Structure 1
C-alpha cells in the first residue's frame, strides 16, 4: 500500500463521526452478503460459537448479543472468515461480496473505526509481502531499517486514529499488537529469505540487535491465542529457533537440518514445551507442528510413529488430539500399495459409491480435487487436467468436488463440458480431508488397479 493511500485512510478516520459514546451493554452485528456461499453467518470467540444467523431472502443477517466480552472475534461464512473486534455498545454493520471477500468487506456503524483499521492493516500487509520479500537481498541492517520504517508508519496511523476517535485502551493494544507482530515475523523470516535469494549455503551473520524485540516477546498471551499476527509470529519464531538450535548443537549443516524432517520437528516440539505454558497456545502450536509434519513431510511409517510418540509425550491432553489421530490414521492408510480407503462420495445421480470401488475400475487413475467456491482454482485445475490428459493418456483423471451444493455442482460440470462419468462430490470434506490427508487442492492421488501408487502427488509437479 503506497503512502498517499495510507494518508487518505488517515483522513477518512479523522473526518469520521467516531466519537459517539457507547451506552448499551448490548452488541448488534448485522449486514448483507452478496453472492452468498452458505446459508449462515456464524460468530466465534476463539473456537467457541457465540451465535449464528441464517441469511434472509435478500441475503441479510443480524446477530444481537445481550453482552459481549470486549475483544477479537471472527465471523464465518463458509468457506471464508474474517476478524471483527467487538465492544459493548457496538452496532456494527458489514457488507461484502463473496467473489472478492476481504477486499469488498466494509464496516459501518458504531465500532467501524477499529474494524476498518484492522481490515486495512490486513489488506495492506497482504499486499506488501512481495515488496518485503524483495528487500531480503539487503544486508541485515538495511532490511531491519526498511521493516522498522514500515512498522513506524503503521503506528503513526494508529496514533492519529486514536487521537481523533475515542478508542478503548484494549482496542489500541490489539491494533498495536497486530502491527508489531506482523513486522516481527518478517525479521524472523529474513535470514532464510536472504539465503534463498542470494543462493548462499548459509544464512547471513546478524548483529546482536537484529532480534532485539525478542526480549519483549511473551509466549503466553492467552487473549491473543487466536490472533492472526501473534500466532503466525510464534510459528515462524519456533521454526527459526529450531533451525538455529540445530545449526549450533545438532547436525550443523544447512542441508542436513532441512533433510532431517523428523529431527527438526521433534526439536520444535521440545522448544514449545520448554517456553510455552499457556494451555491454549501450547495446544495450537503443537497442532501446527503435527499437521505440517503429517501432511507435508511424507516420512516413513517408522519415523511417523516416532513423531507421534513424542507428540503424545509433550501434549498428551491436547484438545486437538482427535484431529491429529485422525490424520495419523489417514497417513498410515495412504501408504504405497495399500487399497484406497472406503470413503463414500456421490456420483451425478446422487448415488453413493466408495473411492476404492471407483479406483478398482481403472488400471491407472489420478484423483484430483476442486471446490465450487474457489473459482480461479477450479479454472486452473481443469486447464491443468486437460493438459495432463493429453500428456498422459494412460491415466484416467477423476474429479472429486468438495462441499458444493448438488445443483450448482451439476451446473458447473455441464457448463465446463466435464465428463459426468468421472466427476464425483462429497458433502463431508472434513472426513475426506482427514481420510485422504488433503493438505491442499493441488493434490493428486495416483492409483493402479485400486492400489495406491502415490498418495501425495502434485498436479503441477509430479507429472
Structure 2
C-alpha cells in the first residue's frame, strides 16, 4: 500500500524559478512514503543464533529489529552467546555491543553463527551457517561503502551533472554486482531487496550532501541551479518504514536529507547562508520542522526529532534556547516516555549552565583512598571523562591532555574514569597505557553522578574554577582553537 502526498506538482530539485520557495510543506506534499512487501511477507522461521565475541567490552549483546524485538543475549565466560527463535520474521536486524553496532540478515535456515573481535569490529565480523553468504556479502559491502564515502568530499568539486552521473553509475554498478552474486550464490530474495535499499540510500546521501560540500554554507542558495533531475528520486521515496532502521545506510541518509533541506530553508529566509549558524537554535528548530513534515510514523518522527534535540542540548550552553527547543520537540512528539527523557535531560544540562556549581562528588584515588572533587581543583580545572569501554578515545584524550599539560602547567587537567569501581579495569588501563596516576581518579558513585552530569562515556570535558563553579560544561579539547579558549579562561 502506498500513501501518496501529491498536492502540488512542484519538483523537489532546486529549480531556477526563484519565485517558488522550497519549503518543508512542499516537500511533505511530494514525498511518496511507503513500505515494501516481499515474496515471504508474513512468513516466519525457526533459527538458532549463536556467536563469539573476542575481547568483549560488556557481558552481553543486544539484538533489535525495531518491530517488536529487543533481546539482550548474555555472553558466557568465553564470550559466547546462543539463542533459539522459533517464530521470527526474516529480515535485517541490528546487533549492538557497547557503542558499536552493525546490520545483519536473519534469513531462512537452521543456524546462523558469527564471530568478531572488538579490536577490529567491522573488519573481523564473519558468518557461517544459514544466510552466511548473504551476511558476509553485507559486511563486505559496508566496508566498501565506508571506504568509498571517505573520497566523496574531494569528488564534490565536480560539476553537478558530472557528480550525479558518478553517483548514479556507482549505484547501478553495486546493484548489478549484487544481482550477479545473488544468482551465483542463490541469495534469498528478501535479502536482495533489503540490500538494494542500502545501496540506494547511500547514493542518495551523497546527493544530499553535495550542495553543502560543493557550494558551502554561505552560498547554499546557488543550489537553485542544480539540474532539474538532481533530486528527482525524492518523488518516489520510501522512508516511512520502521524496519529501515536496521538498514545501516538509512539513518545517515535521513540526517543528510534533513540537514540539506533545513539549511536551504534557513538560508532562504535570510537571503543567504552567511548568517545561518549550523549549531544554533534557528537551524535546529528548522530541522525539527522538516522531520515533522517528512514522517507520518510517530515512532520515526520521535526518534529523529529526539536525535536532533539531544545533540542540541549536549552542545549548547544557553538554557533559554534549550528550553525553547525542547518545547518545539514536545509539540511534534507523541511518545510520552521519550518526552519525559528529553525533558529530564534538558533539566540536567540547564543545571550545568556556566555560573552554576558542580556537585562535590567523591573520587577514588589510585591508591583506593577517597577524596572529593573540590580538593583536586586548586586553580583553573579541566575535567575529562573516559571509560575503558572506548579504548581508542581513552588513548586519544590522554595524548591530547598530555600535550596541553606541557603548554599550560597552571591548569589542573583531571582525568575521571567512569568504569565500574569493582571491576579493576581502571587500574589495569592506567598501568597498561602509562596514565599519570597523580591526576587520575575514578567516580565512587558512577551511576548517579553520571546521570547528574549527563555524562556519556566518550566525549565530555568541562572547565571549572575553584569552588567548582562551571565555566564551560562541554568543551572540545580537540578543537583547533582550544588553546585560545584556555588562554581566555586563564586571563580572567
TM-score norm. by structure 2 comes to 0.81
Q: 1:271 Cα shift?
A: 2.2
Could you tell me which residue of structure 1 aligns to residue 308 of structure 2? Answer: 289
- 1:326 equivalent in structure 2: 344
Q: Residue 407 of structure 2 corresponds to which residue in structure 1?
A: 391
**CA displacement at 1:448 relative to structure 2:** 0.5
Choose 46-55 or 426-435, whichever is displaced more: 426-435
Is 1:151 the counterpart of 2:168? The answer is no
For 1:99 and 1:228, how far apart are their aligned partners in 2?
Answer: 20
CA distance in 2 between partners of 1:96 and 1:320 (Å):
33
Contact map agreement 2:54 2:79 (CA 8 A) in 1: yes
The 5 Å alignment of 1:278-427 reads 278-296=297-315, 298-341=316-359, 346-348=364-366, 355=373, 357=374, 361-403=377-419, 406-426=423-443
Q: Are the equivalent residues in 2 in contact too, given 1:330–1:436 (CA < 8 A)?
A: yes
Q: CA deviation at 1:443?
A: 3.6
Residue 353 of structure 1 deviates from its aligned partner by 6.3
Task: Note the C-alpha offset of 1:415.
Answer: 3.3
Deviations 1:384-427 (A, max 9, x none): 11111121111111112233673221022123343434323359
Determine if contact 1:43/1:52 at 8 Å carries over to the other structure.
yes
Alignment CA distance shift 1:109-1:287 (3 Å): same
Q: What secondary structure, in the 3-state scheme, does the structure 2 residue paired with 1:137 have?
A: coil
CA gap of 1:38–1:275, structure 2 versus 1, over 3 A, is closer
Distance 1:131 1:442, change over 3 A: same
Q: 1:457 aligns to what SS in structure 2?
A: coil
Residue 251 in structure 1 maps to residue 251 in structure 2: no
- Counterpart of 1:80 (choices 77, 100, 121) is 100
Decide whether the 8 Å contact of 2:461 with 2:476 is kept in 1.
Answer: yes
- In structure 1, the partner of 2:476 is 458
Could you list the per-position Cα deviations for residues 86-107 of structure 1 after superposition, in whole angstroms to 9, with x for gaps in the alignment? 1343411111111111101111
Alignment size in residue pairs:
436
User: 5+ residue gaps in structure 1?
Assistant: 1-22
Question: 1:263 and 1:130, CA in 2 relative to 1: closer, same or farther beyond 3 A?
Answer: same
Q: SS at 1:138's partner residue? A: coil
Tell me the residue number matched to 1:441.
Answer: 458
Can you give the 5+ residue segments of structure 2 that lack an aligned partner in the other structure?
1-42, 484-492
1:162 match? 182
User: 1-side partners of 2:51 and 2:279: how far apart?
Assistant: 49
CA, structure 1 residues 395+432, in 2 after alignment: closer, same or farther (shift >3 Å)?
same
Counterpart in the other structure of 1:230: 250
| In 1: Cα distance, 2:446 partner to 2:306 partner | 19
Distance in 1 between residues matched to 2:311 and 2:411, nearest whole Å:
29
Matched, 1:135 2:151: no
Query: What is the CA-CA distance between 1:155 and the residue it aligns to?
Result: 0.3
Matches within 5 A, 1:265-280: 265-280=284-299
Q: In the alignment, is the contact (CA less than 8 A) between 1:72 and 1:85 conserved in 2?
A: yes
Task: Check 1:306–1:353 CA distance in 2 against 1; reply closer, same or farther (3 A cut).
Answer: farther
- C-alpha separation in 2, matches of 1:400 and 1:148: 48
SS in structure 1 opposite 2:473?
Answer: strand
What's the Cα RMSD here? 2.8
Structure 1 window deviating more from structure 2 (275-284 vs 73-82): it is 73-82
| Residue in structure 2 matching 1:187, options 199, 207, 213 | 207
Aligned counterpart for 1:62 among listed residues 65, 74, 82 = 82
- Greater Cα offset, 75-84 or 379-388: 75-84
> Cα gap change, 1:44/1:423 in structure 2, threshold over 3 Å: closer, same or farther?
same
1:184-239 Cα distance to aligned partner (Å, 9 max, x none): 01100001011249x96754431111011111113312321443322221221111
Alpha-carbon spacing, 1:444–1:316, altered in 2? closer, same or farther (3 Å): same
| C-alpha distance 260-395 of structure 1, shift in aligned 2 (>3 A) | closer
Listed one character per residue, the Cα deviations across residues 248-289 of structure 1 (whole Å, up to 9, x for unaligned) are: 3x2222122236821222222222222311021111111111
- d(CA) in 2 for partners of 1:352 and 1:209? 65
Are 2:57 and 1:40 equivalent residues in the alignment? no
3-state secondary structure, aligned to 2:382: strand
Change (3 A) 1:425 1:320: farther
Cα distance in 2, alignment partners of residues 30 and 68 from structure 1: 15
Say whether the 8 Å CA contact 1:45–1:74 is kept in structure 2: yes
Q: Tell me the distance in 1 between the aligned counterparts of 2:281 and 2:456.
A: 18
Contact 1:178 1:230 in 2 (8 A): yes
RCO comparison, higher one (Cα < 8 Å, 6+): 2
Counterpart among 31, 53, 59 of residue 51 in structure 2: 31
CA distance in 1, matches of 2:202, 2:449: 33
**Matched residue of 1:337: which SS?**
coil
Give the TM-score, by structure 1 length. Answer: 0.85
Q: How far, CA to CA, are the matches of 1:237 and 1:71 in structure 2?
A: 25
Report how far residue 349 of structure 1 moved: 5.4
2:108 is equivalent to residue 95 of structure 1: no
